[in-house]
Structure formats: C-alpha cells, structure tokens
Amino acid sequence: MDRPIALERDNLQTAAIRPIVAPGTLFWPIAVVLGMIVLAGGVAFLQQLRYGLGVTGLNQNVSWGFYITDMVFFIGVSYGGAVTSAILRLTNAPWRAPMVRMAEAMALVTLLIGSLFPIIDLGRPDRMLNLVIHGQVGSPVVWDVIAINTYMAATMIFLFLPLIPDIAFCRDHIGSGAGRLRNLLYSRLSLGWRGTDRERNVLERNMTIVAVVIIPLAVSVHSVLAWLFGMTVRPGWNSTLYAPYFVVGALYSGVAAVILVIAGFRRAYRLEEYLTERHFKYLANMLLALAMGYAYLMFAELLTEGYKMEGFGEGQGSGALLQETMLGRYAPLFWGFVLGGLALPIALLSLPPTRTVGWIAVASGLVVAAMWLKRFLIVVPAMATPMMPTNWGAYWPSRVEIAITLAAAAAVPLLLMLFFRLFPIISIYEMEELAEKEHDTRSEAAPAGTG
Amino acid sequence: MRIALLVLLLIASLGSSWVATAAHADDPPAVTLQALPPSGAAEGQTSVVLSARLTKDDTPVAGVPITFYIVTTVFGERLMKVGESLSDATGMSSVLYRPTWEGGHTAVARFAGTADYAATQASFHFDALEAESLYEPARFGLNPVRQWLPAAVGLLVLAVWGSIIFALLSTVQTIRTADAGLATTQPIPPWQVQAQHPAPLGRILVALALLVVAAAVPASWLVGQTRGPDDEALSTPNAHFENTGADGGQFDPSQPITLPAPESLAATLVSFVETVTFDDAGQPVPGSVAMPADVVINAGRIRILDGDRGRIATVTADGKLVFILETSVADAISLKGAQAMVALGDQLFIATPEDGQVVIVNASGNIENAIHPVIPEGQAPISPAGIAITELGEIWISDAANHRVISLNERGEFQRIIGEGAPSTSPEGFNTPGGLTIDGDGNLYVADSLNRVVKKFSPTGVLLQTIGAGRLDLPTAVAVNEQGLIFVSDEAAHLVSAFVPNGGYLGSISDERFAAPHSLKTDGDLLYVVDRLAGLFVFRPLGTDTSGP
C-alpha cells in the first residue's frame, strides 16, 4: 500500500538532513583520520615548496609523474559525476533524484582537488601567473586552464541552483538550532527563496540551461586534457584517438566513483529507502557499457600501435613503448589494469549473482583504482621512452608525491562529509517535485470515488 | 633413286625457304630511336621538352606512339610516365615535362613496336635548373581559418560563461524579487526536526589539536625525505639545490662564455679513421658507426663503442671496422644507449643506461658478466655518462642526470658518492658530470660538463684540484697520460685541451675535421680522440713539457 505523500515527505526530510543533525558517532573519528592524511599531504607540499621539485622522483626524462596522473584522474572522475547528473536531469530520469546531489558534489570536490595538481606539479606555484602574463593562445596548457576554470564555474552553479530550495529548507527548519554561523550561511545562500511558482519555473529553466551547457563543457575539458598529450609528438601520446579515449575513460571512472560515493553515504546515513538496489543496477548498466566502450578504445589504440611497432628494433618510439608496457617493466601494472579494471568489473557487473549493491560497489572500487593505474600507464611510460636512441628514463615516486596523492584521495570523502554536514545529502526539492508529479499522475489515473 | 633424292632435296629446300620466309615475316624490321636531350635548361625555365626521333634506315617513321618516362628513385628505381605523343612526318615525337626536383634527370623514350616496326627505346640525361613546386595551394587555404579559430573558440567560451552567469544571476534576481504572497507551494507539514546542537567550539578545537598532533608523525616521516641521516653519508637526488659556488650562485651554464684564444699544442696526427661513410642517398653504409661514443685500447686493439646501435667495433690494421659484439634492445643484456667504456686488463667495462648496469666483455667480444648497481632506497636510478675503474676493481660511474659520481664494488653496491644529487657549483658538486678517468696514483678526474671544469679527487673522494676554469666550454671527457698530462675533450670549443699536472694550461689540439670531440683515451705517447660526428683521431702530442707554465 502506498504511503501518504506527507509521510513520505517527513521521512525524506529526516533522511536528507540526517548528516546535518545526526552525523553519527563515527563522523569525527573518520574525519580526523582523513584530515590527518590531508594534513600530511599539506606538510609534504610545504616540503616541496621549501626544497623544490628535487624532493620528488621527477627527473630529466620523466618530468610528469604522480601529479599529472592525479590531475587527469581526479578531473576525469569529476567529469563522470557532472555528466551523469546532467544527462539524467535532461532525460528526466525519475530515479535520478536521490543521487544527483551526491554526484554533483563529488564532481565539484574532485574537480577542485584535480585542478590543484598542475600547480603542485609546477614546483613554483607563483609561476602560474606566467600563464596569464605570457600565455600563448596556441598552447594547449592555456586552453586547459580556460577549460578547467569555465567547467569549475559551471559545476559550482550546477550544484548550487538545485541546492537553493534545500538551503531555504534548512534555514526554515534547522536554522535556529544550527548555531549562528550556519544560520547566517543558510540565510545568505538561500537568497530569500520562498518556493513561488515563478521561482520554481526560473530555477527549472536555469537548471536545464546549465545541464545543457555542462555536458559539452565537460567533454571539452577532458578533450583539452587529452590534447595536452595528443598534440605532442611523443610516442604513445601522439594519437587522434586520445580525446574520445580520455572522455570515455573519464566517464568510466566517474560513474564508478559515483557508485562508490552513494554506496558509502547510503550505508553511513541509512538511505536504503531512497537509494535502492534499482539505482545501483541502473548505474551498473551504465558502468558496464562504459567498460565495454573503454575496452574497445584501448584495443583500437593498442592494435594501431602494435601493428606498426615503430622504432621497436631501435629501442625507441611507440613500438618500444608498447613492448615495455605489455611485456616489460610496466607489464604488472598493465595486466593489473586489464584484470582489475576491465575483466573483473565486467564479470561482476554482468553475472546475475553479483549484481547486488555490495558487489557493484566492489566492481566500482576496482574500476576507480585501476583507472588511476591506467592514467599512470598513460603518463609515465611514454615519458620514460626515448624519442631518440638514448637513455631510457626511470621514475619512482618519492614519499612526498605519495603523501600528496594519498592526501588528495582522502580529501574527497572528507570534503564530501563536511559538505553534507552543512547541506542536505538528498535533494529534498527534486524528490518532492517528483513525488508531487507522481501523486498527480496517480490521482488522475485513479477512477473517481476511489480517492 | 637419284631422281627421288633430288625431289626430296628440292622439297626440303623449298620447305626451309618457306619456314625462313615465314619467320622473317613475324619479325618486324628494326628501327632506330634517337634521343634528343634538351639543349640546356635555363634559369627560370620550369618545363623541359623531351624529344626523340624514330627512323628506319634513315627514313622517318611517322604516326607511331612514343612514350616518355623519367627514372625516379622513390621506393626503389622505377619509371614515371611523363606522356605519349605520335611521331610527326620527320619522325619526331615530343612531350613537355615539368621537373619536380632540381638537378640530374634520366629520361627514357620508348617505342612499344607495331606490326611493321620492332620495339626499341633510348635514354638520355639532362639537368633541371628549376623545379615546379609540388605543393598546390588549395583555393581556400586553412590558414585564415587557423587565424580566426582562437577568436571563434574565444567567443564560444564567452557564450558558455554568459549562459552560466545568466542562469545564476537570473535565479538570484528572481528569488530576490519574488512576492511572498504568490507562494503556491504546499506548506511544509508541521515537522519537528530533531536537531542536535552542532559540535561546540571546544570539541572542534580539541579535534583540530588532535589532528595536528597526529599529523606530526607522517610529517616527521616526510621530513626524513630530505633531512634523514642517510643524507650525511649519501647525497640523494632529492637534495635541494644549493648553488654555493665561488660565483655566488650566479653561474648559468646556459649562457655562452667567451674563451681566450686557444694556444696551439703541436701534435702529429698519426691516423684518422672515418667511422661513418655514406651512400649516394646520404645514408650510412652498413658497417658504419654513425655516432661513436667512446674508445679504448684493449688487448692491443682499438675498440670503439657504438652506443646508438649497441655494438663494439674493433679497428683493423687497414682502418676498417669489424664488430666483435652486437646487441639489440631485445637481448637480455644490451649495450643500446651505452655512452661510456673502459678497459681493465683484457676486459671491457661498459656502462649501460639500463639502470647503470655495467657489462663486462672479454677481448673476444663475449659478454662475461654484468654488474647491477644495487640502488639504495630513495636514490634515483643511474644515468651513466662516464666510467673509470681502479686497479682494485672499484668502478666509478658518473651519473649525469643526477649530478653525482658513484663508486661501486664488484657486487654493484654503492661505495662512495660525490655530488649533491642536483646541479651545483659548490666545490664538490657537479652539473652534469661526463667522462671520468683515473691516474696512476688512483686519483679520479671528472669532466664536470656544465660547470665547464675538470675536477680532480683523491682516491678517497676529497677534492684536490679544479682544472680548466675559463679554458673549457663543454668538457665531455678527460684522460691522463703516463707523464700526468691531462687532456680534455671540449665538444663546444671543438678542441682537445691539455693541462700540466698542476692544472696549468698547456695548449689545445685542433683539427679542421673536429665537429664534436666527445671522448678520449691515452695509450703510451698516443692520444685517441673520438669525435661523435667525424670519427677516430690518433695524435702524438709533441713537446709536452710537464713542468707547466
């Protein structure tokens, strides 16, 4: 029997603000542990600032390592979150409502973290200013800065617009009990929302505009990122396939990260009633399709390079790179990716017995970890491969790089936890809109007199 | 009987004459094709007339097709058809050819033959002074599009920014101006939020303090990265760059310097071995060493290291190169990319880029062993540019990429490290160290390439002397002879400079063929210099008084 809409709303509101009012006993211990890791990363960065990039494993041959891998990875994850949310919003998929907030918040958080890495990689952050002063329009680095900043602004607005009614809800219902600062925050950020028809109409229209804009924007961000590599003549990178390869890879890791995030918060804040197994199965289907797409693109890339094997006999070029990646020193990482990032997840997501929330989360965890590995395999072996028959480069990350990477990984759940400590984890506004629409549809469909 | 015989002979002669006539009828008469080369190409003339005349017994053959070809060497030698024309009343046939390259051409005129005339062909040479550009610009070039592309993309970016700012501002504006009286939404039902008070400030402060204390542990671990006890003993590649040289940190190796004019050092060129020869197409002929990396004298033979191809060649008495060892990158042990080689007894020690692995090769060219450096944790892999070995078997390797010089024992374990792991002008620091050598007293000489000096260290690694300051531009290798004279190859100055044992400048050896004198070794009174681009020079320096200026 269907529950009355008011009761559903009561339960929904309670669930949505549970992290704000009752975060649970594990909140602070987990936050402290994650904060510790983030702080250690901060110390590592200060260490690097003081002593320069010499404290990293970067060297003359391999000048891009963990940091660029992290940048590509985190921005890719962000892209997946934003596009998933935008596509579901534009296609008006009704099941999206309980999870879009988490996907959008994850998109912003990972983007903020990912966009820090080019600055960290510079060694001298003050030299970012040179991009403004001496930037060349023809440089993919300049394109990248413009694309990332535009995307960041769009992601913030994409998250903020549907948040306004929910902030107003917090202002009206928990504002007084939330302390002066939070009260002030809710009052300012809700902008005086009252929920009038006009407000709702304008909000809906503008959310659609941003959702429309954010999809090509996200595609462009990751394409530009791919062109940073593809526009060079370096073996392994110089490929016309790189932009779609990166875009699909980003979606793949992004959807997996969305699944991980919603699985984590679902369990932590007991949101099973709203984030049902159905949501995970739908997302698993998306992930499975992306896995197939990514496997195909990877195969196409490897086959093209493997057919030519350029420079193999001379120990240089893409032939030598392929040899090193598939059978040489990077082989454990490569086959680790193939197994852990493609074969196992595809098996787990396809077989009926493992299409459960737990196993889907496991598959997603594997994909996220393996996609980081894949980014490493894209960045480092190509740099280590000589373009002339000279020395092979080698790279081993230093403690500083490991600490900063771990800090970035820890910062994602930490920032999300803190974000949902302030704002509703489920979009109350969108859930209510959907419930009302559903209620209206039911009322219209029900025969007269049956109530 | 006689009559029958005569009849038979008659039949046989008639038959043979018929066969001969028939055979002659199938073989058309021979014709002559006379090639008529262009009379001479002129400046500015971008087309050439190719002509030939077909005659039979000095009578012009008219109305038959003559085809003209140009011999090309694209993907092997082949004929490129230029055109075909019928011979005129004088037997002349001509086509117009627009050369696509300047210089020598070979043209072929070919008559394919008809039922009346046999096939024939003729060829001729001519020089084209002008060539037609192969590139034909498109009617609408891409350049204007490329020029406007940034502006178009810029407009697109502005449009995106405009859209999202519009979305934000119009939302803000609408909400701020909304009339509360128009609210039509369902009022939120009475609902009591079980709000807990937020964590009091005190608890937050305690949590922050705990955070800081807890972070101190990994922080101290990180500090060990550059300030660990290991740093005292082993300079790590992660050591920070302290430019503490006498120049006050102002030294910039990328800036060109002006050296005083070199003083000539008399030396007799005993022999020169051109290690690379090129074919007509400008490609090195097989058996060449295109860029020799190093030279040693081993078992009375001159050995040349070809790092580019992973080979070792020996020089025969008649100056030819014979390879005694050839490796490829697919081999378990490869010399590919090796830049430095040294001899001890009958053995050759080659430092390879494979993590600084030292390959030991015997005088017959067989690989006997390989020493794998045991790289301590936190140390970068070795990128060798020079190698030297003491009588006791201690191997010194210059690690150019990490700006240090390392000694290894026979098990590959690190014994000593000189250098800071980063470019440095400090007395015991290096900036891209190159070749090494060891003198009779066991002292180590390091060509400190980008600091533009040679540094001499005691066998225990104490700096004894800095040699060549202000006299060297890009020292890449150093050698010391039995008299203690120090020879330094200077790639940038195209010289080999000599110094007396106290470091005084003696003079420089030059040769007009010097292009990049890269490495050198001494043997008796001879000096062997490997030039990366020219070959092997063997000098006998004269009048080298070791007392010095």
Highest mean pLDDT among A400-414, A428-442, B207-221: A400-414
Q: Which helix (H) or strand (E) holds B520?
A: strand B517-523
Q: Is the pLDDT of residue B200 over 50?
A: yes
Q: Which of A165-174, A338-347, B225-234, B242-251 reaches the highest mean pLDDT?
A: A338-347
Instruction: Select from A31, A161, A173 the Cβ nearest to the Cβ of B193.
Output: A173
DSSP B293: -
- B192 in contact with A at a CB cutoff of 8 Å? no
CB neighbours (10 Å) of residue B495? 24
* B302-319 average pLDDT score: 87
Distances (CA, A) of B65 to B34, B95, B112: 14, 11, 8
The residue ranking higher by pLDDT, B311 or B377, is B311
**In this structure, what DSSP letter does residue B66 have?**
E
Question: Is the CB of A206 less than 8 angstroms away from the CB of B215?
Answer: no
Chain A contact for B206, CB < 8 A? no
Element (H, E) at A217: helix A197-230
Residue A394, chain B, CB below 8 Å: the answer is yes
Average pLDDT over residues A429-435: 80
Q: Does residue A188 belong to the interface with chain B, where contact is any CB pair within 8 Å? A: no
ipTM of the complex: 0.79
Chain B contact set for A199 (CB, 8 A): 174-175, 178
Closest CB from A179, A192, A386 relative to B175? A192
**What is the C-alpha radius of gyration for chain A, rounded to an integer number of angstroms?**
24
- Please give the Cα distance from B55 to B33 (Å, whole number): 6
Measured between beta carbons, the chain A residues lying within 8 angstroms of B309 are: 389
DSSP-assigned beta bridge partners for residue B120: B111
Identify the sign of the CA torsion B362, B366, B368, B374: positive
In this prediction, residue B250 has a pLDDT band, given cuts at 50, 70 and 90, of very low
Using CA atoms, how far apart are residues B546 and B549, in angstroms rounded to an integer? 9
**Does B182 contact A196 at a Cβ distance shorter than 8 Å?**
yes
**Side-chain half-sphere exposure of B140, counting CA atoms within 13 A:** 2
Q: Do A191 and B175 touch (CB under 8 A)?
A: yes
Contact B211 A315 (CB under 8 A): no
DSSP A341: I
- Given the DSSP bridges, would you call strands B535-541 and B384-389 parallel, antiparallel or unpaired? unpaired
Give the model's pLDDT for residue B341: 94
CB B540 within 8 A of CB B525: yes
Mean pLDDT of A331-346: 94
Q: Quickly state the pLDDT bin for B191 (edges 50, 70, 90).
A: very low
- pLDDT higher than 50, residue A408: yes
Looking at residue A449, its pLDDT comes to 44
Q: Does B378 touch chain A (CB under 8 A)?
A: yes
Which residue among B178, B179, B225 places its CB closest to the CB of A398?
B225
Question: Which is more confident, B86 or A15?
Answer: B86
Whole-number Å distance between alpha carbons of A67 and A73: 10
Q: Which residues pair with B446 in a beta bridge?
A: B436, B455
Chain B residues touching residue A207 (CB < 8 angstroms): 167
Handedness of CA B410, B415, B416, B417 (dihedral sign): positive
pLDDT of residue A273: 84
Query: Contact A32/B180, CB-based, under 8 Å?
Result: no
Alpha carbon A423 to its chain centroid, in Å, reads: 19
Beta strands in B280-403 (DSSP E): 294-298, 301-306, 311-315, 321-326, 340-344, 347-351, 358-361, 367-371, 384-389, 395-399
Residue located via tokens 């500083």: A400
| pLDDT category of residue A286 using cuts at 50, 70 and 90 | very high
Show residues of chain A in contact with B189, CB under 8 Å.
Answer: 6, 9-10
Using a CB-CB distance cutoff of 8 angstroms, which residues of chain B are in contact with residue A434?
none
Statement: residue B313 has pLDDT above 50: yes
Name the pLDDT band for A1 (thresholds 50, 70, 90): very low
CB-based contact, A232 to chain B, within 8 Å: no
A47, A137, A210 member nearest B150 (Cβ): A137
Spatial distance between the Cα atoms of B523 and B253, rounded to a whole number of angstroms: 32
pLDDT tens profile A90-117:
888 888 888 889 999 999 999 999 999 9
Of B157, B182, B207, the CB nearest to A32: B207
Q: Is B189 in Cβ contact with A40 (below 8 Å)?
A: no
- CB atoms B328 and A386 under 8 Å: no
Residues of chain A found within 8 Å of residue B178, distances taken between Cβ atoms: 192-194, 196, 198-199
Please tell me if residue B223 touches chain A, with a CB cutoff of 8 Å. yes
Contact A43 B219 (CB under 8 A): yes
- Reported as a single tens digit per residue, the pLDDT across B508-518 is 998 888 888 99
Set of chain B residues whose Cβ sits within 8 Å of the Cβ of A200:
185
pLDDT at B242: 41
CB contact under 8 A, B222 and A43: yes
Q: How far apart are CA A34 and CA B207, in angstroms?
A: 12
List, as one string, the DSSP characters of A41-62.
Answer: HHHHHHHHHHH-GGGSS--SS-
**Across all residues in chain B, what is the average pLDDT?**
79
Q: Is the CB of A439 inside 8 Å of chain B's CB atoms? A: no
- For chain B, say whether A50 makes contact (Cβ under 8 Å): yes
- pLDDT score of B245: 40
User: What distance lies between CA A429 and its chain's CA centroid?
Assistant: 24
Task: Tell me if A36 and B215 make a contact (CB, 8 A cut-off).
Answer: yes
- Based on the number of CB atoms within 10 Å of its own CB, is A443 exposed (0-12), middle (13-18) or buried (19 or more)? exposed
pTM > 0.90: no
B139 compared with A186, residue with greater pLDDT: A186
- A24 and B CB contact within 8 Å: no
Average pLDDT over residues B336-362: 88
Among all residues of chain A, which has the CA nearest to that of B184? A196
Q: Which residue has the higher pLDDT, B9 or B483?
A: B483
Residue A368 pLDDT = 95
- The residues with which B538 forms a beta bridge, in sequence order, are B271, B528
Above 50 in pLDDT, residue B183? no
CB pairs under 8 A between A and B: 210
Strands, E, within B87-240: which ranges? Answer: 92-97, 103-111, 120-128
What is the CB-side half-sphere exposure of residue A40 using CA atoms within 13 A? Answer: 27
Chain B: give the shortest CA distance to residue A341, in Å. Answer: 29
Partner residue facing A403 (CB), from B166, B210, B222? B222
Pair of tokens at residue A63: 């000048």
Least confident of A67-71, A134-138, A216-220, B516-520: A134-138
pLDDT bucket at B261, cuts 50 / 70 / 90: confident
Ranked by mean pLDDT, which of A190-199, A346-355, B2-11 comes out on top?
Answer: A346-355
Query: In the numeric block, which tokens belong to residue B510?
Result: 């030059």
Instruction: Give start and end residues of each alpha helix (H) in B196-321.
Output: 201-227, 230-233
- Going by C-alpha positions, the residue among B376, B510, B385 that lies closest to residue B450 is B385
Per-residue pLDDT at B492: 85
Q: Which two tokens stand for residue B184?
A: 């039509």
Dihedral in degrees, nearest 10, Cα atoms A434, A435, A440, A445: 100
Rounded distance between C-alpha atoms, residue B338 and residue B328, angstroms: 12
For residue B230, the model assigns a pLDDT of 35
Whether the CB of B147 is below 8 Å from some CB of chain A: the reply is no
Q: Are B307 and B336 in contact (CB under 8 A)?
A: yes
The predicted pLDDT at position A329 comes to 87
Nearest beta carbon to residue A153 from set B164, B191, B193:
B164
Q: Residue B461: what pLDDT?
A: 83
Residue B254 has pLDDT above 70, yes or no: no
Contacts of A61 in chain B (CB under 8 A): 383, 401
Q: Do A50 and B240 touch (CB under 8 A)?
A: yes
CB contact under 8 A, A391 and B179: no
Interface touch A403/B240, C-beta < 8 Å: no
Per-residue model confidence (pLDDT) at position A57: 87
Residue A40, by phi and psi: left (phi above 0), alpha (psi -120 to 50) or beta? alpha
Instruction: Read off the pLDDT band of B25 (50, 70, 90).
Output: low
pLDDT greater than 60 at residue A387: yes
**Best of B236, B336, B518 to disrupt the A interface by mutation (most A CBs within 10 Å)?**
B336
Q: Which among A137, A150, A191 has the least Cβ separation from residue B160?
A: A150
Give the mean pLDDT of B497-526: 90
Q: Which residue of B has its CA nearest to A5?
A: B189
Q: A394: nearest CA in chain B? A: B381
Inform me whether the C-beta atom of residue A411 falls under 8 Å from chain B C-beta atoms.
no
Q: In this complex, do A173 and B188 lie within 8 Å of one another by their Cβ atoms?
A: yes
The percent of residues in chain B predicted with pLDDT above 70, rounded, is 77
The overall average pLDDT reported for chain A is 86
- Residue B530 pLDDT > 60, yes or no? yes
Range in A178-187, A309-318, B163-172, B385-394 the model is least confident about: A309-318
Structural domains of chain B, with CATH: 32-128 (2.60.40.10), 267-541 (2.120.10.30)
| Contact with chain A for residue B199, Cβ under 8 A | yes
User: Looking at the predicted structure, is the pLDDT value of residue B547 above 60?
Assistant: no
Among B193, B240, B402, beta carbon nearest to A174: B193
pLDDT the model gives residue B482 = 87
pLDDT at A11 over 90: no
Instruction: Judge whether residue B110 has pLDDT over 70.
Output: yes
Please tell me which residue, B220 or A52, carries the higher pLDDT value.
A52
A123 touches chain B (CB under 8 A): no
* Residue B5 C-alpha from the chain's centroid: 87
Has residue B27 got a pLDDT over 90? no
Cα–Cα distance for residue pair B118/B112, rounded to 1 Å: 8
User: Residue B244 is encoded by which pair of tokens?
Assistant: 């503490």
Higher-pLDDT residue of B180, B400: B400
Region B329-352: mean pLDDT is: 87
* Out of A173-187, A379-393, A435-449, B313-327, least confident range: A435-449
Q: What is the pLDDT of residue B308?
A: 82
**pLDDT value at B501 more than 70:** yes
A403 near B CB under 8 A: yes
Q: A177 at the B interface (CB within 8 A)?
A: yes
> Residues of chain B with pLDDT > 90: what percent?
21
Fill in the amino acid letter for A410: A
Q: Is B238 close to A200, i.e. CB distance below 8 A?
A: no
The set of residues, in sequence order, having a beta carbon less than 8 Å from that of B289 and lying 6+ positions away, is B275, B276, B304, B306, B309, B311, B313, B321
Residues B72-88 have a mean pLDDT of 85
Q: Among B160, B217, B382, B402, pick the best mutation site for testing chain A contact (most A Cβ within 10 A).
A: B160
Residues of B in contact with A169 (CB under 8 A): 188
